[in-house]
Amino acid sequence: MSIDAAVWTRIWQTAAVLAGGAVVWLIVRFAINRWSDRARERLESTGDLKDRARGQRLGTIAGSMSTAALVVVVVVAVLMGLAVWGIPIAPMVASLSVVGIAVGIGAQSLVKDVIAGLFVLIEDQYAVGDVVELAGVSGTVEELRLRTTVLRGLDGSVYHVPNGEVRVAKNVTHDYSRLVIDVSVAYEESVDRAMSVVADEARSMAADPDWDERIIEEPIVLGVDELAESGVTIRVLLTTDPDERWTVKREFLRRIKNRFDAEGIEIPYPHVTIDRRDDRA
C-alpha cells in the first residue's frame, strides 16, 4: 500500500520540526555551557576559595538552565509535531495546564525550595566556606544545592536547610569579618589608662608581621560600652580575614590578659566575702 503525498509531506514536516528542535537545543546548550565555562575559568584562575565556590555555583546554574531549556524545547516540538498531523493541541494544552496546577499545588514546598535555591545562587548570598545562620541554625556552608543548603556546625553536626525556609540569611564572613570584643576592667582602675593600653596592644598586634595580613583594617577602640555590675566594659572592633576571625580573637584576648598583668590592671571577677559571726555575740 502506497503512502500518498499528503502523508509524506506531514512526515517531512514532523522530521523538520524535530530536527529544528534539536538544533535549537544544541545552540542553547552550547551558549549556556560556553558562558559558564568562560566564567568558571576566570574565577577559578584566581586561586581564591570563594571564587572557586562561585564557579561551582555557576556550574549548578548552567545545569538548571540547560534542563529548563530542554523541557521547553521538547514540549514545543511535540506540540508542533501533533499540530502537523492535524491533532487538536488546545485540549492537550488545557490538560497539561490542569496537571501542572495539580502538581504545583502538591509540590509547593519543593518548588519554593528550588526557586529560593536559584536566587541564592544567582544573588551570591553566601558561598561554600562561609559561616552563616539560616532558619535558626548556624554553621559553615559545605554544599549549595538547588533545594537545600548543607551546613556543618561547630560540634560536627550536619544540617540540611531547605532553601524555601530561609527568611533571613546571616552571613558573618562575607568578604571580611568584624570582631566585637568586650574587655572588662575593675572599677578601681583608671578607665583612660585602660583604654590607652587596650588601643596600644591592638595596634601592636595589627603591626605584628605574623598578624598584619589577618587584621585587614586599623583596630578601633570604641570606648566605654557599659558600666557593668562588677566592672567597666571597653569595646574593641577588629576587622579580619574571614578565615582567621576566631584565631585573631583568641590571640588578642591572650595578649590583653598578659598586658593587663604586666601593667597591673585588674580584670574583674566575682568576689565572695564571708563574715563570721561570734557565737557569744
| Cα→Cα distances 102→99, 112, 116, 203, Å | 5, 15, 21, 64
User: What number is the average pLDDT over the span 128-155?
Assistant: 87
Q: Are residues 98 and 152 in the same domain?
A: no
Per-residue pLDDT at 84 exceeds 80? no
How far is the C-alpha of 140 from the C-alpha of 153, rounded, in Å? Answer: 6
Q: How confident is the model at residue 280 (pLDDT cuts 50, 70, 90)?
A: low
How far is the C-alpha of 263 from the C-alpha of 135, rounded, in Å? Answer: 45
- Domain with residue 147: its CATH number is 2.30.30.60
Q: Are residues 72 and 151 in the same domain?
A: no
Confidence (pLDDT) at 1: 46
Q: What's 235-267 look like in SS3?
A: EEEEEECHHHHHHHHHHHHHHHHHHHHHHCCCC
Dihedral, CA of residue 56, residue 59, residue 65 and residue 66, to nearest 10: -160
Q: How confident is the model at residue 159 (pLDDT cuts 50, 70, 90)?
A: very high
Q: Are residues 88 and 135 in the same domain?
A: no
Based on the structure, what is the number of domains in the chain? 3
Q: Is residue 275 part of a domain?
A: no
Q: Are residues 86 and 53 in the same domain?
A: yes
Residue range(s) defining the domain that contains residue 36:
5-106
Per-residue pLDDT at 59 exceeds 90? no
Q: Is residue 22 part of a domain?
A: yes
Per-residue pLDDT at 54 exceeds 80? no
Per-residue pLDDT at 264 exceeds 60? yes
Q: Which amino acid is at 276?
A: R
Confidence (pLDDT) at 162: 92
Q: Check: pTM over 0.75? Answer yes or no.
A: no
Q: Are residues 149 and 189 in the same domain?
A: no
Q: Are residues 245 and 229 in the same domain?
A: yes
Residue 193, SS3 per DSSP:
helix
